[in-house]
Structure 1
Amino acid sequence: MSPFIMIPGSSATANRFDDLVKTINHQYGEHHSLLKMTVHTDGKITSSGNIRPNDDRPFIVVGFENNKDGYANIKKQAAWFDIAFNKLKAKYRFNNFNAFGHSNGGLVWTYFLENYFDDSTIIVNQMLTVGTPYNFEEKNTSNRTQMLNDLIKKRDKIPTDLTYYSIAGTQLYTDDGIVPLGSVDAGKYVYEGHIKHCTLITLTGSKAQHSDMIANNQFINIFHQYIVGNGINGSVPTKPIKKGPDEE
């Protein structure tokens, strides 16, 4: 099995990606199962959906009862995610997977990789995040939050063979309505120069807003090509990033 493990952002539940999975299955004529797990504050897990027998490429969504924003909560969510991840690998015995996170879900993934993921027998093939605010609401990358500094400090714990795609939504190349482009771009300080491959992609136009991006047609194409297809169908359609005078 090589599952797609997905983490939603703040205020979102394990149902967040229902439409995305339906679209992938319908648009590409595929039949991926969908298992949804919610980790509660006491560490117990409830789930819905299932993985069909012989489905070696299922979607698995892990959400949290406490899905609030903030660095303190992101650290708690990473610990809760570790509980779910350990249960998944014990039950399904996979040795590789693909990771996806929307918004703070990408921060949970990063904190998890740095602080909990220490299993050398499991490979993270590709990771894709959308609208992940590595520097929270800061536009100026010179003003680094405590979270960004912490993530940079422990970046050597991230698997070096990881291929990572970070997608930013833009309105006039400034933000996605919530997260500044500079905050998404700040992920380069965590990943670039340490992992095998790191690419920032910008989405513009219709449905490039923070909450709408996972329904954006360009995003769906990228998601299918680089997560479902493991990047086997060509190069990512990228757009140039315009940097302001206060950005490095």
Structure 2
Amino acid sequence: MKFWTKQRLGGLGLILGLLLLLAIPGLFWRSQQLAQVRANYRSPLAPIIMVPGSSANQNRFNQLVQQLNTEMGTQHSLLRVEVLTNGQLKTTGTIRKGDYRPFIVVGFQDSRDGPANIQRQAKWFTIAFKSLQKAFHFNRFSAMGHSNGGLVLTLFMEHDLQATGAHAERLMTIGTPFNLEEWDTSVETPLFKELVADRQSLPKELVVYSIAGTETYGGDGIVPVDSVNRGKYIFQKQVKSFTQVTVTGTQAKHGGLPENQQIIKLMRQDLLK
């Protein structure tokens, strides 16, 4: 009787072991399916995040947003965020319920120029981005950076974006000096070399537009055209598409580029689709 019981228990153990082995592939398949669903999910909310250049703050794009809303006939919300040097955030404005394409402007308490501070601003931007994600539950966005703001966004996308799980859909840089204010075309700054070295970390689905202004033949009065055009060495063959545009005319000065009518038109058709 005892022998029969052990035999029966052994048989049951064998059957249970076989069932477990058969179940393991299903568990792996379900785990892979859940991971794929999470990876493919796109939140309804997809903000346009803007970063101003050095010496500008979170109010820099008030006029631009007002003009875009007027021309588009849609009142997109405007949330302004200031990142303090201790990493805390101060916000003004709000995101209206049901507005899935709000504008969010991220500025910095320390908005000074210089490569070291641009690197710090990129880290401060990451703090703001993670806080915004947690508050508003979005996992996709588009972005626009004027001047050094484009550098901040590029550094973020190379170094910190992947860890957030968010999908960057479009990036527009306006008068962004990828080689800083270097006028000698034979010189490559350390920041430019870093951006090139880390370009493979850029999101592959990203669509990029780089816009240069030419007040003179050489640049927009502050940033050399060659510095803006070096964006191609960072983005080409790394992202889904890269488009380079040059605008001229009376509003092609560096500081006035965000309000340039040609650029506003490009923003409407390429960034706010």
Q: TM-score, normalization: structure 1?
A: 0.90
2:55 aligned partner, one-letter code: S
Unpaired runs of 5+ in structure 2?
A: 1-44
Match of 2:73 among 17, 29, 34: 29
In structure 2, the residue matched to 1:246 is: none
2:194 aligned partner, one-letter code: D
More relative contact order in 1 or in 2 (CA 8 Å, sep 6+)?
Answer: 1
**Do the aligned residues in 2 keep the contact of 1:135 with 1:141 (CA within 8 Å)?**
no
**Do the aligned residues in 2 keep the contact of 1:134 with 1:148 (CA within 8 Å)?**
yes
Match of 1:212 among 237, 253, 256: 256
SS of the equivalent of 1:107 reads helix
Measure the CA separation in 2 of the matches of 1:120 and 1:11.
Answer: 28
Q: Does 1:191 align with 2:230?
A: no
In structure 2, the residue matched to 1:243 is: none
1:68 aligned partner, one-letter code: R
- TM-fit CA distance, 1:96: 0.9
5 Å-filtered alignment, 1:212-231, equals: 212-229=256-273
In structure 2, the residue matched to 1:237 is: none
In structure 2, the residue matched to 1:112 is: 156
In structure 1, the residue matched to 2:9 is: none
Distance 1:83 1:16, change over 3 A: same
Match of 1:58 among 88, 97, 102: 102
**Do the aligned residues in 2 keep the contact of 1:141 with 1:186 (CA within 8 Å)?**
no
5 Å-filtered alignment, 1:76-87, equals: 76-87=120-131
**Whose radius of gyration is greater, 1 or 2?**
2
1:188 aligned partner, one-letter code: K
In structure 1, the residue matched to 2:137 is: 93
1:198 aligned partner, one-letter code: F
Measure the CA separation in 2 of the matches of 1:142 and 1:38.
Answer: 37
Encode CA deviations 1:77-105: one digit per residue, 9 max, x unaligned.
01100000001111111121001000000
Match of 1:75 among 96, 113, 119: 119
Measure the CA separation in 2 of the matches of 1:140 and 1:27.
Answer: 40
1:187 aligned partner, one-letter code: G
In structure 2, the residue matched to 1:233 is: none
Identity %: 45
- RMSD of aligned Cα (Å): 1.0
- TM-fit CA distance, 1:116: 1.1
Measure the CA separation in 2 of the matches of 1:18 and 1:178.
Answer: 23
1:165 aligned partner, one-letter code: Y
2:244 aligned partner, one-letter code: L
SS of the equivalent of 1:57 reads coil
Q: TM-score, normalization: structure 2?
A: 0.82
In structure 1, the residue matched to 2:214 is: 170
Measure the CA separation in 1 of the matches of 2:51 and 2:97.
Answer: 23
Measure the CA separation in 2 of the matches of 1:211 and 1:172.
Answer: 14
In structure 2, the residue matched to 1:125 is: 169
- TM-fit CA distance, 1:123: 1.2
**Do the aligned residues in 1 keep the contact of 2:79 with 2:105 (CA within 8 Å)?**
yes
Unpaired runs of 5+ in structure 1?
A: 230-248
2:104 aligned partner, one-letter code: I
Measure the CA separation in 2 of the matches of 1:120 and 1:37.
Answer: 19
**Do the aligned residues in 2 keep the contact of 1:167 with 1:202 (CA within 8 Å)?**
yes
- TM-fit CA distance, 1:120: 7.0
Greater fraction helix: 2
The aligned length equals 229
Encode CA deviations 1:32-57: one digit per residue, 9 max, x unaligned.
00000000000010010111111111
